[in-house]
Structure 1
Amino acid sequence: MRKRMIDELHTTMRGLHAAGAIDKQTLRDFELRALPPPSYTAEAIRALRERLHVSQGVFAAYLNASVSTVQKWENGEKKPSGAALRLLSLIDRKGLEVLA
C-alpha cells in the first residue's frame, strides 16, 4: 500500500514538472527526500546485473564504479550507497537504456 501511494505521488510530481508547475530542481529534491532507494543485497545486485545480461565491467561503467567495487558488492564485502544506490534503483526500475 505504501509503495503504491509513493508511486502515485511520484507520478503526480512528474506531471507537475511536465506541466511547468514545478522546476527540475524541485522534482529532484522531492525524489531525494521522499523516494529513498531500496537497499540491495549482494544477491540482488548480481541478479539485477544478470537479468540485464551484462558483465561486471559493463555494469560498473554504467554505474561509474570500478569492476572491483561491483565485485565487492556482489560478494557482500561492500554495500552501495549514495549515487550508486540511486543508479541501481533507477536501473532496476527502468533498465540500462535510461542511462544511455
Structure 2
Amino acid sequence: MSRRMKRMVEEAKELHAIGVMSDTDFNEIKRLAKQAEINDRIAAVKAMSGEEIKALRVRWGMSQSVLAHTLGMSKESVSKWERNEIKPSGPALRILNTLASKGPEVFVS
C-alpha cells in the first residue's frame, strides 16, 4: 500500500475513533485501500508474439493441443497465434503470462 493510502486510512481511523466518521464510510475507505493494494500488485498483461508463445509451449513440453486445453481454446487458435495470423485476447494473454511465470503446475488441481 502506498504511503499516501496508508496515511489516508490512518486519518480515517482517527476520525472514526472520535466519532466524526461513520462506520460505513470508514469501512468503505478500508475496502478501497485494500482494493488499491491488490490492484498495485497485479502484474500488467504482457503481449506475446507467436514466437514467444511457441517458445513458452516448448519450454514446458506442451503440445499445441495441451496448451489449447489449458487455455480453454482450440488447437487451431494456438496454431494461428504461433504463426502470427491472429493475436490472443486479453484473458488468454493473462493465462499465457501466468504460465510463463509459474509453469503449468499452477493449473493442476
TM over 0.5: yes
Using the aligned pairs only, state the percent identity. 39
Question: Alpha-carbon deviations, 1:11-38, whole Å to 9, x = none?
Answer: xxxxxxxxxx87xx948x617x953211
1:43 alignment counterpart: 51
Residues 1:74 and 2:79 are matched in the alignment: no
Q: How many pairs does the alignment contain?
A: 77
RMSD: 2.7
Q: Normalising by the residue count of structure 2, what TM-score does the alignment of the two structures yield?
A: 0.62
Provide runs of 4+ in structure 1 moved above 3 Å. none
CA radius of gyration, larger in: 2
Amino acid in the other structure paired with 1:38: K
Question: Alpha-carbon deviations, 1:8-67, whole Å to 9, x = none?
Answer: x9xxxxxxxxxxx87xx948x617x95321110010000000001011000100011000
Question: Alpha-carbon deviations, 1:47-88, whole Å to 9, x = none?
Answer: 000001011000100011000000000000011122100000
2:25 alignment counterpart: none
Distance (whole Å) between structure 2 residues aligned to residue 26 and residue 68 of structure 1: 38
